[in-house]
Amino acid sequence: MLKNKFIRFLIILNGILLPIVIGFIIYAFVDDFLRQSQYKSNDNIFKADYEEEQKDYSIANNGPQKLYNSDIWYIIFYRYYDDDDEFKYYGNNDFPKDILNIVFLDKELNVKRTLLNRESLIINVSAPNKYSEENRLGKLKEMIFYLVVEEDTNSNGYLDRKDFSCLFASDLDGNNFRRIIEKDVNGYRFINENLISVAYMENGKIKYGVYDFLNNEFKDSKSLNEIINKY
């Protein structure tokens, strides 16, 4: 009798603990996945896949958001495609994928500045967050980077990710917004406190170079690009 009671006790205990253990495992997996996704979005930034045809969209905003570890606020106006879901717009640094403009605010939500003063499309934003701290050093911690399309270079009638995109940067409050590299930049990666590596398109091939913020100059990785040209 005592043995049967003990067995029933173990069965009940197992029924209580098993869902808790499974829930913890699922939480840990999801949390690790999101952290890895955030980390990768800041460590190695590349153009996302694009659609073959322009889709119908409305203009949406994400409401006032606070920039990580600062008193700076912003609101983003972006293309919300009719067949997309909200999950696609968040998770990688909390920036939508096709941004029409960014308005920077103070802590009382007063408008300080509007980033773009002409029709453009921001297809990537990299701002400091808690997952990128170890990748961004020195002055790079105080900057936001953008891939910006300014012209319909493929003449399909609208701005999209297939168009020529340049690398821009600004201070954390959107001030000092300027073009860093006037090439068709495909991606970039932080190297140290002064350098970022840059991947760009030229003659249908991806080539590489390094931008030096200490001297404000871009240098092609000539030896690497020569090898790439052979293949």
Write the pLDDT tens digit of every residue in 95-133: 888 999 999 999 999 999 999 999 999 999 998 877 766
Q: DSSP letter at 167?
A: E
Count of positions (residues) in the chain: 231
Residue 38 is assigned to a structural domain of this protein: no
Residue 33 is assigned to a structural domain of this protein: no
Residue 101 is assigned to a structural domain of this protein: yes
Residue 177 is assigned to a structural domain of this protein: yes
Residue 6 is assigned to a structural domain of this protein: no
Residue 7 is assigned to a structural domain of this protein: no
Per the DSSP assignment, residues forming a β-bridge with 62 are none
- Total domains present in the chain: 1
**Residue range of the domain that includes 141:** 45-229
CA 108 – CA 141 distance, rounded (Å): 24
Residue 25 is assigned to a structural domain of this protein: no
| pLDDT attached to residue 130 | 72
| pLDDT attached to residue 80 | 87
pLDDT, averaged per 10 consecutive residues of the chain (231 residues), comes to 53 56 48 39 47 72 89 93 59 73 95 95 88 70 93 90 93 95 92 92 91 92 88 79
Q: How many CB atoms lie within 10 A of CB 125?
A: 24
CA 46 – CA 2 distance, rounded (Å): 65
Residue 9 is assigned to a structural domain of this protein: no
Mean of per-residue pLDDT scores for the chain: 78
